[in-house]
Structure 1
């Protein structure tokens, strides 16, 4: 395939990992068709086997695109840290490790404060995996390269013996482009976990790179132009990936199962995060409600006491009113008697004067 077509394919893969996560599968299939139509059957096979990123990996890919300078600085910091380790400069190692934590925490904090990446909310679990991946990028140069390229399919972790992915599987950090004619990889961004049967040659230790293309002369039953059994010349070499290989079929089936189960894990994690958010919101409402109920209970107790005091005062007033009414009735009777006696006295006085 011409170099320009390879570049176009590489650009298409970059665009693939930059897309929204839900569009990955459809965009990958479109890239496979594009590679097939251009005649790059091997490239199409490689792209077809790219795994849909986990939520954590997708978030890290977008962060790498948004903060290329910070991600690049982490890789350079890793180079300095390895040099200091080789020189056994303990003071320098401590200072660089402190700087590693500062720079990693700063990136994670920026994402946490934003609360989302590309319109997708970011959970605490994703932030934890982001921290682990950025740490792996400092500790391992191949991890730094693939993180910087923004093509992760799984988040990474640095363990004592190398790099593993978030599922605990050995992380194979490979390149998309095939080897050059000299056998070395051509220029282009690395691609994590995209290797397959067409990637000839023994793999390196966990977390190290493998050449993505076939090694010189590997996977070729006969040289280009050599006659076959019928005496006809082959027009071009046949890639090993085009042969029917039971081992490759098993690997493809296993990778399909991994992709499906990983997608299910992503779905369940997203649902878990949603439920946790609902639970946090409900707990906050409960806390506010309990505080309001406590306040209203205190208010009710105060008002109840005031009501009881008012009722008691009302009872006293009613009793006083009843006593006053009784006294008033007795007084009015006495007053009527007094008025009648006074009238009688005046009559007797007039009678006495007339005599």
Structure 2
């Protein structure tokens, strides 16, 4: 049997993550045997280590396959955000961040209105994970690659120090990248922006001869230029940090708003349950009061009956004693009559 090449391995992995969630373990074991039989022992070991997706991750993978254009648009939006950050274009950043929210909410709303994905009901908690993962795909190019590929084993979150999974652990994104993808590929806009920035740094950092065009030393000017460049770089660094803080705080607001809505729904459900419980408790209290009165009445009837039974039992004993006496007297009378007849 010929060995499979990396493309074939990726086909196997894609098919595995496209299967129904309940079939994942059996399908993974079959895939390990398939790849091993093809002579790719390393690939087989890689497939063997792939964890079963969480429910949220499976739903997100299906959404990525069902809505590839929307996912691709969000990934491209991430490239534009990074380019705008590099260009320090605040107005563009605000507009792109607003667009990010609109596109994310639109896709989540589509899933919410459908009510299910691949035959599996989608809970509000899973919708929260979907929102967080889509945000992570915008903010991080590695996350975008994995989300587009539909290979998540856990939902993702973008936090201050990078990408973590739904359990708060560091997300291993590279292991899930399709072959041929470096996970950090950027759009042409992002690459050009970063390339221009690097060129600017290279040009600004080249050593000069320390002389003007007239051949005279220019050390003072170079020193002032160096200080000015250093101040500009510091200002740029501060701005980049501030823009990053804007992105992170916006993502946090999105997550908290979604969780707030979920908590509000839980509160409404709990309040309704409390109202039903209080009504039922009031009904039971009334029923208990009625049954208590009925019990007391029955107990009085029982006491009266027991008293009547005791009186009857006493009377019965007296009657039986009188009967015994009467029987003895009757026997004695019959005996005397026989004697009288015999005389």
TM-score by length of 2: 0.53
Cα 1:103–1:168, aligned 2, differ >3 Å: closer, same or farther? same
Equivalent pair of 2:10/2:179 in contact (CA under 8 Å): no
Higher relative contact order (CA 8 A, sep 6+): 2
User: C-alpha separation between the residues in 2 aligned to 1:170 and 1:14?
Assistant: 23
Cα 1:169–1:175, aligned 2, differ >3 Å: closer, same or farther? closer
String of CA shifts for 1:206-239, please: whole Å, max 9, x gaps. xxxxxxxxxxxxxxxxxxxxxxxxxxxxxxxxxx
Cα 1:114–1:186, aligned 2, differ >3 Å: closer, same or farther? closer
Q: Which residue of 1 aligns with 2:142?
A: 142
User: C-alpha separation between the residues in 2 aligned to 1:175 and 1:3?
Assistant: 21
Equivalent pair of 2:3/2:40 in contact (CA under 8 Å): no
Larger helix fraction of residues: 2
Equivalent pair of 1:62/1:117 in contact (CA under 8 Å): yes
String of CA shifts for 1:289-317, please: whole Å, max 9, x gaps. 969x99xxxxxxxxxxxxxxxxxxxxxxx
Secondary structure class of the residue paired with 1:157: strand
Secondary structure class of the residue paired with 1:158: strand
User: C-alpha separation between the residues in 2 aligned to 1:156 and 1:108?
Assistant: 15
Cα 1:50–1:112, aligned 2, differ >3 Å: closer, same or farther? same
Shift of 1:6: 2.7
Shift of 1:9: 2.1
User: C-alpha separation between the residues in 2 aligned to 1:162 and 1:282?
Assistant: 38
Aligned length: 202
User: C-alpha separation between the residues in 1 aligned to 2:156 and 2:143?
Assistant: 8
Q: Which residue of 1 aligns with 2:67?
A: 67
Equivalent pair of 2:4/2:38 in contact (CA under 8 Å): no
Cα 1:118–1:33, aligned 2, differ >3 Å: closer, same or farther? same
Q: Which residue of 1 aligns with 2:27?
A: 27
String of CA shifts for 1:234-291, please: whole Å, max 9, x gaps. xxxxxxxxxxxxxxxxxxxxxxxxxxxxxxxxxxxxxxxxxx99x969958986x969
User: C-alpha separation between the residues in 1 aligned to 2:169 and 2:111?
Assistant: 26
User: C-alpha separation between the residues in 1 aligned to 2:90 and 2:271?
Assistant: 50
Equivalent pair of 1:10/1:188 in contact (CA under 8 Å): no
Provide the aligned C-alpha RMSD in A: 3.4
TM-score by length of 1: 0.51
Q: Which residue of 2 aligns with 1:51?
A: 51
User: C-alpha separation between the residues in 2 aligned to 1:115 and 1:9?
Assistant: 33
User: C-alpha separation between the residues in 2 aligned to 1:106 and 1:280?
Assistant: 26
Cα 1:3–1:98, aligned 2, differ >3 Å: closer, same or farther? farther
Secondary structure class of the residue paired with 1:52: coil
Q: Which residue of 2 aligns with 1:353?
A: none
Secondary structure class of the residue paired with 2:164: strand
User: C-alpha separation between the residues in 2 aligned to 1:140 and 1:42?
Assistant: 28
Which of 173, 180, 201 is matched with 1:187 structurally?
180
| Long gaps (5+) in structure 2 | 184-264, 284-343
Secondary structure class of the residue paired with 1:152: coil
Equivalent pair of 2:112/2:122 in contact (CA under 8 Å): yes
Shift of 1:12: 1.4
Q: Which residue of 2 aligns with 1:166?
A: 166
Q: Which residue of 1 aligns with 2:88?
A: 88
